[in-house]
Each structure stands twice: as C-alpha cells, then as structure tokens.
Amino acid sequence: MILVIDVGNTNLTLGVFDGERLVATFRLTTKTPRTSDEYGVTITQLLRDRDIRVEELEGSVIASVVPDVMHALVGGIVRYTNTQPLIVGPGVKTGLRIVTEDPRAIGADRIVDAVAAYEKYGGPVLVLDFGTATTYDLITERGEFTAGITAPGIRISSEALWKQTAKLPNIEIRKPKSILAQETISSMQAGLVYGQIGQTEYIIGKVKEESGLKNLKVVATGGLGRLIADETETIDIYDSALTLEGLRIIYGKNPARRDGRKEEKVGD
C-alpha cells in the first residue's frame, strides 16, 4: 500500500492505494497549524479507523502548493509511518514534457492532474480543477503540457462578495432553482454558479479554437467540479480522484527516487 497526499491551499487530501485500487480517502484543513507529531498522530489515527496499519505502507508521495506546511508534514510522515515521502517537483519523472515558458512555475498539483488525465484518458486533453483556484491545463497527444489558464475559484469569489461588502452574507455554494433570483442568497448563488458555468464553457471553446484541437477531451476534478460538470456538456468526464490517481502514477514512475520504508525502526 502507498499513502498519497495532495496539499492544497484549502484542504489537505490523503488517499491510500492498494495496488491501483483506492481503498481510503481523508481530508484535513490545510490552514490549521500542526506540528509534525500532530500530523503523524492524526494520519495514523485516520488510517487505524479504516483498519489500515502503518506497517502495511510501503511508501508515500506528496504534491504540495503550500511550502509552509511541508517541514512538519514530512516530519510527521517519516516518524509515524516510517516512510520517506517522494515529493513531486523538479527532477521527478512524470511522463510529461512541460513546454511552457517557465516549467518550474507550474504547480505540482497541476502536473499531477495532467499526468493522471493523460495516462487515464489519453491526449489531447484539457484538465480542469475546480479548487481554490479554477485551472485549465492543456496536454497534447504527445504528452506535452503546453498551456495553462488560472481563474479565481468559486469559493474565492464567494468569499470576496461577503468579505468586501457590508450586507452580503456568507452562503452555501449550490445551484439555485432559477437564475431569475428574487432574494439575496439565491441571487449570489445564481451569479457564482452560472457565472462559473459561463466562464467554463467560454474558456473551453476558446482553447479549442486557438489550439485547433477539435477532438480535445475535457476532464474535470476538484471539490466543486461535480456541480459544474453536471450543468454543461462541454465537460466530458468528471473524475473526483484524479489528483490522487496522478500521485499513484508518479510514484510508480520513480522507483529510483523513492526510499520507501526506512530500514530502521521508528524512534531509533
């Protein structure tokens, strides 16, 4: 079994794979400060609750866009799972060629999503991740990461409305019964959800137009991705586990760069 961890700006998502089968997932809040012991204890307890023993873990892999948590997180994993995590970054084999102007500026989460989408669904593929930011990444048939678009996520837009205005409330993000809203909450929901749908459809259309890739597959993931994918025919596939799958795939491509289980016992 391997432990895979996606450290995002809002949530820290963990998964456990037994071979190619995802057997457990967990979610923690990224913004909660934790020590290495707190990470270690929390993760081992979550595993125990699913009847997974840390001794069953042969390795671990992390993709992170939040550098500040990495020291404590890696320390907790090393101490409590006795594995040395593979960190997705420069030098790690992915199977993709990044041909943007500054390849090192591409976030690890976007690379992981791209790897999973390309490996699972082939290319050319446009990968959408509805997370803290909404991202659109283009991978060619030859496995080249050629372009990326970044927009504010739905939750960021929602927070901007209620934090920057005196009378607008913090709301649940869901599709209202009608876009013809008649009160404040459904008015905000209509603007947020239908606005995101409109943005999604326009950007996908523009990418197809400028790239000339009319046969482009569109794959979406992310916490609010299902909400949008269900409302537009421009998204072909919604895959909730895409990022975790990408981590598993990258782990498998890097046998020489991962240490796996340390030979010494925890605490030695």
Catalytic residues: 109
Interatomic CA distance for residues 227 and 248, integer angstroms: 26
Q: Which residues contact 250 (CB under 8 A, 6 or more apart)?
A: 61, 86, 88, 92, 93, 94, 112, 115
DSSP-derived secondary structure for 245-264: HHHHHHHHH-TTT--EE-SS
Q: Which residues contact 154 (CB under 8 A, 6 or more apart)?
A: 130, 134, 173, 192, 193, 196, 224
Tokens of 202: 């326009």
Interatomic CA distance for residues 172 and 186, integer angstroms: 10
Question: Residue 264 CA to chain centroid, in angstroms?
Answer: 32
